[in-house]
Structure 1
Amino acid sequence: MANKTNCIKNGKKYYRITATIGRDSNGKLIRKEFYGKNKSEAEKKRDLYLNDIKSGLNIGYEKVTLGDLMHTWLFEVVRISSKIKPSSFNRYEGIYRNYIKNSSIYNIKLSDIKQLILQRYYNELYDNGKSSNVIKNLNKLLKSFFNYEVDEGYLIKNPCGKRLVIPGEQEVSKEEIEVFSDTEIKALIKALDGNRLKGLILLALGTGLRRGELLALKWSNINTKNLLLSVEKSISQVSVIGKNGERIYKTIEQAPKSLNSIRKVPIPKNLMHILEEQKILQKKDKLKAGLSYEKNDYIFTTENGKILNGRNMARTYERILKNAGIKYKKFHSLRHTYATKLFERGEDLKTVQTLLGHSDISITSNIYTHVMPEKKISAAEKLNDLFA
């Protein structure tokens, strides 16, 4: 028996039914059409749609695509959030541009996204040479996006579930941190003589401040009487992305990494003369530059009083190590050295966590306890009396 139809659409016969799904902003009824090969199929589509609406999904949820909605979320929600730093948004935008835009999942309707579709896409990326870490970061961003769309009523549940596998992911062994030895520290101090970065590098070694925190230090942050410095800001040089995707390279001053990063750190007494040298250097720069000198309160500046450029500073730092005959270590290794030397001198974990500004004591423990195996040995020795 032939299926009974009641309309023709694009040259094909269908059975069409309509349903009222709500009202628009003017109070007018919104009606939606459902098509099937027969009445039963059309009714099934209608009932499924109405059940989804009752479950909390937005009217029209079935029309939006993953790529379009994610672009809107990224640029109109994430970008303007006070909780997201420009450097973080820069990273998110890069993930979207490289792995969502123009990808095989961009035009998939959000309502059609299933875990298996994402799994196949991740597998495809891995087979094409993308690392597990890249895919893991993509999954993390998609998970945040889907969580938002669940709240907005475009999805019932997040497809980035626990059963989703990151291809090639393995438990990575803890990366061994690099620290400067006492011999290297002496060679570094000698190589810094007469260099503009002397104060900055030695203060990094003596206080454990991050690079951005050092660049943001002002003279008003220094308490010479109590030998303390206050960490209140951090400076980053990043590409700030506008609403339309335009990029502007900016130097921005922002809050440090976490609330715990806002802290007071003692300055070793023997480093105070380094700060005095830095003050004298700035006075000479002002005299030489004259009216072109940029007035501000920052401690570490260029000859014209401007904030130091992080990239230029990194290049100069690398040359200093090379001239000192020291194998290259990241600038962050100065911070690692600070913490390690404190532990070697018997400082407790909680104090070091506070001085470093870590948000949780487990972060400090996970990073540094493995660099001092002798402490573990001495801890075990304390139990010898149990077996005497």
Structure 2
Amino acid sequence: MSNETACVTRRAKGDGTIFQNKKGRWIARYKRKGFPPKEFSGKTMAEAQAKMDEYKFLVLSGNIVNHLLPLEEYAVKFLNYKSKQVKRGTIKQATYDRIEATYENQIHDNPIVKILMCNLTGKDIQDFIDDLQDKYSYSTIKKCYEFFSALITYGLDDGDFPKDYNPMKTVELPSEDSVAVKTKEIEILPTEDLELFKKIALSRNSAGKLNYRFGPALVFALNTGVREGELITISKNGIMVDKNNHPYLHISETISRVKNRDPKINRKYVHIVTPPKYPRSVRNIPLNPEALHCLKIMDMTYTERNLVRSDFILTTDTGNLPTARHMQDTFDRILKVCNMQHYGTHSLRHTFATKLLEKTKNLRDIKTVAAIMGDDYKVIIKTYLHPDEDNKYDLVASL
């Protein structure tokens, strides 16, 4: 039996626990639902007891957060709240994973976490954001900014902070041009290589079997612009026809890779099927003849019953849903045979969008492309449309 166990003072539920550790110091531990566990140390039992009693008073009076909790402890309460939102279904598991990863990877080890919430100023947060400028991309920095903003908003809504508490008021994000890690340029497959790529992706061996099990799925993505997670979860129930008998694909699901929180599962990450992240991503995509041809090939090829859900079209030869790694590995093998450089599978979506936009003639057409892609049309313009320097002169000359 350890010294700690031998010296534990049994107390009523909710009073906390006091014990003497191996070094002879007295330790008081207190835990209350909704707050992180707190530990106090003293030379005497009375000293440890007094520190814990002061903390308990602040908890019960509702003043604990604003007076004593440093950022690192308040973050525990905030993340606990976000995890409960996952259970309630008001945010996605992937969203919570992203928030948690932002705190653990960029914020947790920074000295800012030692500052008491009541003393946290806009300058503290701004200095932290500015320090990230030389290390991270704009996207990562923005996630940190949003973490602080959400944490403080939560504290205000929960009554932990005074109504006039607003350290984010003066905090600014840097411009995308001023950060050290630049946003990666979009990848588009060269037009001259597309026919060869499709030919190899759909090729068969001498026995008539597909050389690449997921080759037709990649060509399907090239003709629909679906995101990788949407591609993996395309469903037989999602193939429909409109009133004019035009076939289309209804997108209402995607697959997400989330952190495993089940101790019974011996994996760091698991895949789950969820609705798309944004409402606009629930959409209908017209199917051209090549996309329909790919669906027909997949229907004939994937004879194994999908063990996740019988209406899912894509499946491995063991009946499971393929993963992003399956798709990228297949893509890499095809690109190598085509003697093409490496591309991520998202380049298929970029290529589809670029080809569509080449056909547009007005803003209405661009908005139609945005609806097909499941993006805001402003994002489409910013991502894919760039000024043509040579065309500037032709436009002005045409006046």
TM-score of the pair, normalised by structure 1 = 0.71
Choose from 167, 173, 177 the match for 1:159: 167
Q: Could you say what secondary structure the match of 1:296 adopts? A: coil
Q: Which amino acid in structure 1 is aligned with residue 167 of structure 2?
A: P
**Could you tell me how far apart the structure 1 residues matched to 2:176 and 2:283 are?**
40
User: Structure 1's 131 and 272: CA in aligned 2 closer, same or farther, altered over 3 A?
Assistant: closer
**Structure 2 residue 86 is matched with structure 1 residue 71:** no
Q: Could you say what secondary structure the match of 2:284 adopts? A: strand
Q: How many residue pairs end up in the alignment? A: 316
Q: Could you say what secondary structure the match of 2:259 adopts? A: strand
Query: For each residue in 1:334-387, what CA deviation from the matched residue of structure 2 results, as whole angstroms up to 9, or x when unmatched?
Result: 1111111112233620110111111x21111111111x738x828x6455454x
Q: Which has the higher contact order (CA 8 A, sep 6+)?
A: 1
Tell whether the 8 Å contact from 1:227 to 1:269 is kept in structure 2 after alignment. no
Q: Could you say what secondary structure the match of 1:160 adopts? A: helix
User: Structure 1's 241 and 138: CA in aligned 2 closer, same or farther, altered over 3 A?
Assistant: farther
2:16 aligned residue: none
**Could you tell me how far apart the structure 1 residues matched to 2:353 and 2:143 are?**
29
User: Structure 1's 102 and 207: CA in aligned 2 closer, same or farther, altered over 3 A?
Assistant: closer
**Could you tell me how far apart the structure 1 residues matched to 2:137 and 2:219 are?**
38
**Could you tell me how far apart the structure 2 residues matched to 1:295 and 1:168 are?**
42
**Could you tell me how far apart the structure 2 residues matched to 1:364 and 1:144 are?**
27
User: Structure 1's 303 and 385: CA in aligned 2 closer, same or farther, altered over 3 A?
Assistant: closer
The structure number with the bigger radius of gyration is 1
1:197 aligned residue: 214
Structure 2 unmatched runs, 5+: 1-60, 204-209
Choose from 104, 119, 132 the match for 1:112: 119
1:101 aligned residue: 108
User: Structure 1's 144 and 316: CA in aligned 2 closer, same or farther, altered over 3 A?
Assistant: same
Choose from 245, 249, 255 the match for 1:229: 249
**Structure 2 residue 272 is matched with structure 1 residue 252:** yes
2:379 aligned residue: 363
**Structure 2 residue 191 is matched with structure 1 residue 182:** yes
Q: Which amino acid in structure 2 is aligned with residue 297 of structure 1?
A: D
Q: Which amino acid in structure 1 is aligned with residue 166 of structure 2?
A: N
**Could you tell me how far apart the structure 2 residues matched to 1:72 and 1:247 are?**
26
User: Structure 1's 314 and 75: CA in aligned 2 closer, same or farther, altered over 3 A?
Assistant: farther
2:58 aligned residue: none
1:5 aligned residue: none
Tell whether the 8 Å contact from 2:223 to 2:290 is kept in structure 1 after alignment. no
**Could you tell me how far apart the structure 2 residues matched to 1:199 and 1:94 are?**
35
Q: Could you say what secondary structure the match of 1:264 adopts? A: strand
Q: Could you say what secondary structure the match of 1:199 adopts? A: helix
**Could you tell me how far apart the structure 2 residues matched to 1:355 and 1:165 are?**
31
**Could you tell me how far apart the structure 1 residues matched to 2:370 and 2:176 are?**
34
Choose from 127, 135, 141 the match for 2:147: 141
TM-score of the pair, normalised by structure 2 = 0.70
Q: Which amino acid in structure 2 is aligned with residue 131 of structure 1?
A: Y
2:97 aligned residue: 90
Tell whether the 8 Å contact from 1:115 to 1:164 is kept in structure 2 after alignment. no
**Pairwise mapping of residues 259-274 of structure 1 onto structure 2 (< 5 A)?**
259-274=279-294
What RMSD over aligned residues (CA atoms) do the two structures have, in Å? 3.2
